[in-house]
C-alpha cells in the first residue's frame, strides 16, 4: 500500500527571486504545487543532484552570498 502523502511540516523560508521563479517553473512543469515540489526534491535529493557539479556550485554560491545580501 502506498504511503499517504501529507505535508506535515510548514516552515517560512527565504529564497532569491531566481530560486523562486525556478521553483515555480519546476512545480508547474511537474504538475505540483510549490510545497509538493520542494518535498519531491528533498525526498529524492541524492537522485536529482549532479554529485560531480554540486560541490563546485555550492562553493560558488557561498563565495557570492555576502555580496548578494547587500
What is the per-residue DSSP string for 12-61? -----HHHHHHHHHHHHHHT--HHHHHHHHHHTHHHHS-HHHHHHHHHHH
Say what the pLDDT of residue 9 is.
80
Say what the pLDDT of residue 2 is.
65
Under the banding of pLDDT at 50, 70 and 90, the label for residue 20 is: very high
Under the banding of pLDDT at 50, 70 and 90, the label for residue 1 is: low
* Single pTM value for the model: 0.75
Predicted confidence (pLDDT) per residue in 39-65, tens digit: 999 999 999 999 989 999 999 999 998
Q: How far apart are CA 7 and CA 4, in angstroms?
A: 10
Amino acid at each position: 500500500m502506498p504511503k499517504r502523502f501529507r505535508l506535515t511540516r510548514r516552515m517560512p523560508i527565504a529564497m532569491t527571486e531566481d530560486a523562486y521563479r525556478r521553483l515555480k517553473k519546476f512545480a508547474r512543469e511537474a504538475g505540483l504545487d510549490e510545497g509538493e515540489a520542494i518535498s519531491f526534491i528533498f525526498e529524492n535529493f541524492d537522485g536529482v543532484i549532479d554529485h560531480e557539479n554540486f560541490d563546485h556550485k555550492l562553493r560558488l554560491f557561498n563565495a557570492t552570498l555576502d555580496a548578494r545580501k547587500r
